[in-house]
Amino acid sequence: MNKLPFDIWEIIVSLLDWKSTLNLKMTEKFLNVNINFSTDQILAIVRSHYVYDNNLKTKLMESINWNYFRYDKLFNKGVDLVSIAAKIGSLKILKILIRKGFDMHYNNDEPFVNACKFGHVKIVRYFVYELNFNPALLNNISIREAAIGNQLDVVRFLLQDSRVSETIRHRVNPSAGDFLSFKWAVLNQNLHMVKVLLMDFRVNPTTDKNYPIRIASQLGNENIVKTLLQDSRVNPSVRKFQSYKWAFERNNLKILDYLMSDYRVWSAVYFNNKKLANLEIKNMEKEKEIKDRKTLIF
Mean pLDDT of 176-183: 94
Taking only the tens place, the pLDDT of each residue in 263-284 is 888 777 666 655 545 555 566 5
- In whole angstroms, what is the distance from residue 133 CA to residue 135 CA? 6
Residue 75 has pLDDT above 50, yes or no: no
**DSSP secondary structure string for all residues of 74-122:** HHHHT--HHHHHHHHT-HHHHHHHHHTT--TTHHHHHHHHHHHHTT-HH
Tell me how far apart the alpha carbons of residues 204 and 173 are, in angstroms, rounded to a whole number.
12
Query: Tell me, what's the pLDDT at 49?
Result: 47
Question: Residue 229: CA atoms inside 13 Å, Cβ hemisphere, count?
Answer: 24
Query: Binning pLDDT at 50, 70 and 90, where does residue 141 land?
Result: very high
Evaluate if residue 162 carries a pLDDT over 80. no
For the stretch 63-73, pLDDT in tens is 555 555 555 55
**CA–CA separation, 259 and 210 (whole Å):** 14
What is the percent of the chain with per-residue pLDDT over 90, rounded to a whole number? 37
Higher pLDDT, residue 160 or 214 = 214
Whole-model pTM?
A: 0.70
Q: How many CB atoms lie within 10 A of CB 165?
A: 7
Q: Grade residue 295 by pLDDT with cuts at 50, 70 and 90.
A: low
More confident residue, 287 or 53: 287
Is the pLDDT score of 78 beyond 50? Answer: no
- Taking CA atoms, 174 is separated from 114, 138, 149, 224, 251, in Å, by 18, 13, 15, 18, 34
Residue 244's pLDDT is 86
Is residue 103 over pLDDT 70? yes
